[in-house]
Amino acid sequence: MDCPTVDGKRFGPWRRRHRVAVDVAIAVAFVLTDTGVTLAGGSWWPERPDTLAWAVLGAQALACASLAFRRTAPLAVVAVLGTFTLAVTLLIAPADLLTPAHDGNVWAPHTTVLAAYGPLFYRRDRRAAAYAALAALTLVVARPWEPSVTVMTIGLLRTAFGPLLALYFDARRRMVRALVERAERAERERHLLAERARAEERARLAAEMHDVVTHRVSLMVLQAGALRVTAPDEPTRRAAEDLRAAGCQALDELRDLVGILRAAPDGDRTPSVAGFPDLVAESVAVGTPTELIESGDPALASPVVGRTAYRVLREALTNVRKHAPGAAVTVRVEYDETRVRLTVHNTAPSGRAGGALTGTGSGLGIAHLRQRIELLHGTLRAGPRPDGGFGVEATLPSYVPTAEPAV
């Protein structure tokens, strides 16, 4: 899985954010390892090295250094190492320009083990070319034209271990991704079933209320109509008519109300994290200096988490305008794969809060937000700061399954 990026910057584990550095370090390690093994007599190195041997050793170091490009050009790395191995083999025989101290060694560097891993893992769209390149590399490394059980076995192991490992990790990655998708689909289906059950219960209650109340009100209307006909005096008849008309109006209103209860709700129209800049702009427009700092990928926040974070920011900015006139506000939002962290800090106020403004509201905004956040298994902290200002910090899980599609 690729790391999320914001403004060209990667976020995630260090090894994912610095893949080039990791690949270069691995390539350097293999260059040193193969150079040491060769000089120790574990490959093609002659007993009396000459200028050609040292030049070939330098070429081997360059060929092993190509491992730094194993992600971006895995087939090219295999081709470079295969070409080098073939060149060394030809220099030994039939050219007789190199005479190895040990004839039974494999001439290919150990770098081929990791190089053979790349084509099948990083280029899944070119499997045919990858298999062809690996077959050619195996042929060059195993040297079947010089039959040797030891050389052919070691050569085959060197070129087969990497591809088998790549196929295993690729299959494992596909399986994990399929399991995650299945779990998320099951969560969405569970919420859909819950919504359907709520809708059916709402319709059942509406029908029962309609039947019970309509029955009673209809009796009242009929009795009022009968009283209007049989009443001996005009005032009683007028009162009965008024009662009958009110009952008929109540029946009409009840029908409309039952229709609303049977209809599915329109859903929560609260904006998500994409509305943060608008809240900050509104705060700046009314004279409260506000700065928004975001890091990470906002798409990591699921819909319900985004709406809850929006409510927290809206409540925090509203409280600053009420209770801390003249204060500057800093809003920080951090998104990662496991959590969304929102902090709103304001400096000490430079003026006195107006009594009329501070008296508005219920005073339970933070308490209600804390209850809502706890339902999502998050935390909310709010309180004064040492510099005289006030801080609000909300930590929410990035993903909370709902029936809504993720953004």
Look at residue 189 in the predicted model and tell me its pLDDT. 81
Residue 26 has pLDDT above 80, yes or no: yes
> Domains of the chain: which residue ranges?
5-147, 190-262, 273-397
What SS3 class is residue 3?
A: coil
Please give the Cα distance from 393 to 384 (Å, whole number): 12
Look at residue 210 in the predicted model and tell me its pLDDT. 63
The CA-based dihedral angle spanning residues 346, 336, 3, 272, taken in that order and rounded to the nearest 10 degrees: -80
Please give the Cα distance from 83 to 230 (Å, whole number): 114
Give the residue with greater pLDDT, 292 vs 253: 292
Chain centre distance of CA 322 = 36
Chain centre distance of CA 213 = 51
Look at residue 357 in the predicted model and tell me its pLDDT. 43
Residue 120 pLDDT level (bands cut at 50, 70, 90): confident
Residue 212 pLDDT level (bands cut at 50, 70, 90): low
Look at residue 321 in the predicted model and tell me its pLDDT. 82
Look at residue 315 in the predicted model and tell me its pLDDT. 87
Which amino acid appears at position 242 of this protein? D
pLDDT tens for each residue of 295-341: 999 988 988 889 889 989 988 988 888 788 889 999 999 999 889 99
Residue 353 pLDDT level (bands cut at 50, 70, 90): low
Q: Is pTM beyond 0.75 here?
A: no
Please give the Cα distance from 300 to 398 (Å, whole number): 6
Which helix (H) or strand (E) element contains residue 283?
helix 276-285
Class of domain 273-397: alpha beta
Residue 255 has pLDDT above 70, yes or no: no
Whether 150 contacts 158, CB under 8 Å: no
